[in-house]
Structure 1
Amino acid sequence: MRVVAPARARKLAKVPFVELADGRLQGVVSSGSSLERVYVSSVAAGSYAFACSTNNNRPCGGAQGWICNHIRALVKEAVLQYGAQRVARYLKVEPAEAPPAAEDITAGIVAARPAQQQDGKAAAAPVFSRFLRHLAYLELAPDTAPLPEMQWFPATRAAVA
């Protein structure tokens, strides 16, 4: 399995976790008003159904029938992490501009007039769980010994040679 390097470095304070998985662009977005609150946001590929709720399943006040700022931030960070072409292709968005930018992808989603997902709570739990799992790795002391649960990661060329 090939590991894709980030398109550009990104700041993790606003969107600490973003992934293209389970047929969705999904991730964790920090709250603009509280340091202790985060939102789990997602946009489904193709249907553009979206969901946004706090980590304890309270609905986002800004995502009431419209895409909120958390989802806009998620799209922007996904473009930094994966590149605009890959995000647009994954979400099946046909942006007006080529090459697309994050704003073009968001505009394509809004133009499709998506409905908010009804299963936003079901999607939030595994995303937040994976985010917490990633945070646990940050607490480990630096070591060169292998981690058994990380054995599935591909070896780099330098390690293979």
Structure 2
Amino acid sequence: MSDWERSSTARVIPPSRPRKLAKVPFVELADGRLQGVVSSGSSAARVYVSSIEAGGYGFACSTNNNRRCGGLAMFCNHIRALVKEAVVQYGAERVARYLRVECADGEPDAEALLTEMAAARPTPKVNEAAAPVFSRFLRHLAYMELSPTTAPLPEMQWFPPTRAVA
């Protein structure tokens, strides 16, 4: 049994390349979407929750206060940044596979993915994912502030302790 199998921590798959977290601090492939939190280019206090659905490429972008992004006629700069950082985090092939994007020109990159998805003429959607994605982002930040330990965290224990029946 290896050391990581005996520890109380899970193995983390490293990103395909190191990411700069200032622009896109949170990106995930979850719930049938590429989704994440993107910093505003104009205000340090504002962030956007952006997402693209797998398959149909319906997209959404709004602030954490549910104000729709002003550049959302097509893929706005926030969505473009999200796709680029997802490619850095997961690799272009994995992102393409998850979103079900068929790239004709060999190995895809972020621009090729965006071009192929835009060619399908996706439509903007209501950002129903904003609240849960932003909540996961805040939870992610809370865990980042903890000091490293192998002691169990109560909120990470999925199964309640069992008691002996007398």
TM-score bucket of the superposed structures, by smaller chain:
0.7 to 0.9
| Deviation (angstroms), 1:16 | 0.2
| Deviation (angstroms), 1:62 | 0.6
Change (3 A) 1:36 1:75: same
Q: Secondary structure at the match of 1:42?
A: strand
Verify the 8 A CA contact 1:43 1:50 in the aligned structure 2: yes
Query: What runs of 5+ residues in structure 2 fail to find an aligned partner?
Result: 1-9, 159-166
| Deviation (angstroms), 1:97 | 2.0
Question: Aligned residue for 1:4?
Answer: 13
User: What is the alpha-carbon distance in structure 1 between the residues aligned to residue 89 and residue 154 of structure 2?
Assistant: 27
User: What is the alpha-carbon distance in structure 2 between the residues aligned to residue 6 and residue 149 of structure 1?
Assistant: 26
User: What is the alpha-carbon distance in structure 1 between the residues aligned to residue 155 and residue 107 of structure 2?
Assistant: 38
Verify the 8 A CA contact 1:62 1:68 in the aligned structure 2: yes
User: What is the alpha-carbon distance in structure 1 between the residues aligned to residue 113 and residue 25 of structure 2?
Assistant: 20
Verify the 8 A CA contact 1:95 1:107 in the aligned structure 2: no
User: What is the alpha-carbon distance in structure 2 between the residues aligned to residue 87 and residue 80 of structure 1?
Assistant: 10
Alignment of structure 1 residues 102-113 onto 2, 5 Å: 102-113=110-121
User: What is the alpha-carbon distance in structure 1 between the residues aligned to residue 48 and residue 11 of structure 2?
Assistant: 30
Is residue 2:133 matched to residue 1:124?
no
Q: TM-score, normalised by structure 1?
A: 0.87
| 1:53-81 Cα deviation digits (max 9, x unpaired) | 00100000011x21100000000000000
User: What is the alpha-carbon distance in structure 2 between the residues aligned to residue 6 and residue 124 of structure 1?
Assistant: 24
What is the aligned residue count?
149
Question: How big is the alpha-carbon RMSD for the aligned residues of Structure 1 and Structure 2?
Answer: 1.6
User: What is the alpha-carbon distance in structure 1 between the residues aligned to residue 155 and residue 90 of structure 2?
Assistant: 24
User: What is the alpha-carbon distance in structure 1 between the residues aligned to residue 101 and residue 34 of structure 2?
Assistant: 12
Q: TM-score, normalised by structure 2?
A: 0.84
Question: Aligned residue for 2:156?
Answer: 150
What is the identity percentage for the equivalent residue pairs of Structure 1 and Structure 2?
A: 73
Question: Aligned residue for 1:100?
Answer: 108
Q: Secondary structure at the match of 1:71?
A: helix
